[in-house]
Amino acid sequence: MGIKSLDDLLSEGVSGRGVLVRSDLNVPLDDGTITDPGRIIASVPTLKALSDAGAKVVVTAHLGRPKGEPDPKFSLAPVAAALGEKLGRHVQLAGDVVGSDALARAEGLTDGDILLLENIRFDPRETSKDDAGRLKLAKALVELVGDDGAFVSDGFGVVHRKQASVYDVATLLPHYAGKLVAAEVKVLEQLTSAGERPYAVVLGGSKVSDKLAVIENLATKADSLIIGGGMCFTFLAAQGLSVGSSLLEESMIETCRKLLDDYGDVLHLPVDIVVAEKFAADSPAETVAADKIPDDKMGLDIGPESVRRFSALLANAKTIFWNGPMGVFEFPAFAAGTKGVAEAIIGATEKGAFSVVGGGDSAAAVRQLGLAEDGFSHISTGGGASLEYLEGKTLPGIEVLGRPNN
């Protein structure tokens, strides 16, 4: 059974109906100030379409990792204000998740109104492994939109989680994929099917263990798989090189050695590294060959020769997936590797390549380094969900959308 879309729901008519939307509004905050509104902006098209069509919209989302109880530090108040600004209309914030305030506000909604519930993870049942507990919370959420309500899944960043607001509500209400989720799934299908070749994958970030399954899966599909970021040092160590005081997962060295044996013609590692004495923005940087990292220094970025070689591989690619920065891009002295590789991807995109940036730190790097977001074919909002899809895993929040509607 195919997944029904937001357009399907709109054609059925939503005026005067309650619609529960699971959005991904998990944005980074610094002292209550949103530092990257990317996910809020990405959630607007679905919410606006429903509001404009006269639905009574109830939005559920999480922020950070509260411990299953209210915590002012993780309140969605700044998000409600920013969302209202982007939508050009007032967004109410309930004082609780499914309590008396949420219920009273939901009952008072008129056509086109938008209500944001307080952080769904303030309720421990949201992430519970107990099916009955999650279902109870899901039923309380359904109560807010009424018997003729509908559910729209638009939080791609959480579809790999079997949680009450992602999975269980879809078993209780007619369910649809929002614009964001539909777009993400379409893009990922393109990356895992027979896309145009050559197919280049760029993986960064700190740990091999986080990316192992995706490396194993994509190494059989990609023409070139570029490894940067902190995890490159475990691969360099697997080649018998000294990596100084760089980040190293010793337990993964043997695994990396096997990957290099099996896929050595596909995997590409840095040939030079930007090193420093300590992990600090002001630590003096120097570039050394990858086999000449001093014992007392740590690698914090890939060097210019690596950028040149990686850029040459990317220049000819027709399909590109990038997940994870090449270095500590937050520090200007160690941002050149990430910026250089990103610019190479933009260059390939301008020549017609299909390029996908896989969420999280990579998307933040694009914005922080002042690169044009429209220089890439697609910037994903869900790093973990993207990776699990590319590993070949079933995503509970997508699987449930494919079930027949109630």
Could you tell me which residues are annotated as the binding site for substrate? 24-26, 39, 62-65, 121, 161
360 in active site: yes
Known active-site residue 318: no
Question: Residue ranges for the binding site for ATP?
Answer: 211, 299, 330, 359-362
CA-to-CA dists, residue 259 to 105, 114, 203, angstroms: 55, 50, 14
CB-neighbour burial class of residue 14 (10 A; exposed 0-12, middle 13-18, buried 19+): buried
Catalytic one of 54, 68, 95, 384: 384
* 146 catalytic residue (yes or no): no
Known catalytic membership, residue 384: yes
Q: Please name the residues in contact with 95: beta carbons below 8 A apart, sequence gap of 6 or more.
A: 101, 102, 118
What distance in Å separates the CA atoms of residue 76 and residue 78, rounded to the nearest whole number?
6
Q: Is 177 exposed, middle or buried (0-12, 13-18, 19+ CB in 10 A)?
A: buried
Binding-site residue positions for (2R)-3-phosphoglycerate? 39, 121, 161
Report the distance separating Cα 283 and Cα 378, nearest Å: 35
Task: Say if CB 228 and CB 347 are below 8 A apart.
Answer: no
Catalytic residue, from 38, 303, 360, 382: name it.
Answer: 360
Distance, in Å, from the CA atom of 345 to the CA atom of 339, rounded to the nearest integer, reads: 10
Chain centroid to CA 276: how far? 30
- Taking 3-state DSSP, the helix, strand and coil percentages for the chain, each rounded to the nearest 5, stand at 40, 15, 40
Catalytic residue, candidates 39, 125, 134, 179: 39
Residue in 207, 318, 367, 393 annotated catalytic: 207
390: left (phi over 0), alpha (psi -120 to 50) or beta: alpha
What is the rounded CA–CA span in Å between residue 340 and residue 328? Answer: 13
Q: By the 8 A CB rule, do 291 and 171 touch?
A: no
CA gap 272, 281 in Å, rounded = 20
Instruction: List binding-site positions.
Output: 24-26, 39, 62-65, 121, 161, 211, 299, 330, 359-362
Query: Do 363 and 335 meet the contact criterion of CB atoms below 8 Å apart?
Result: no
241 CB contacts (<8 Å, ≥6 apart)?
A: 290, 291, 293
Task: Assess contact for 405 and 175: CB atoms under 8 A.
Answer: yes
Tracing tokens 């959480």 back to the chain, one arrives at: 158
Query: How many of the other CB atoms lie within 10 Å of CB of 1?
Result: 8
Both tokens of 257, joined, read: 């050695």
Tell me the catalytic residues.
39, 207, 360, 384
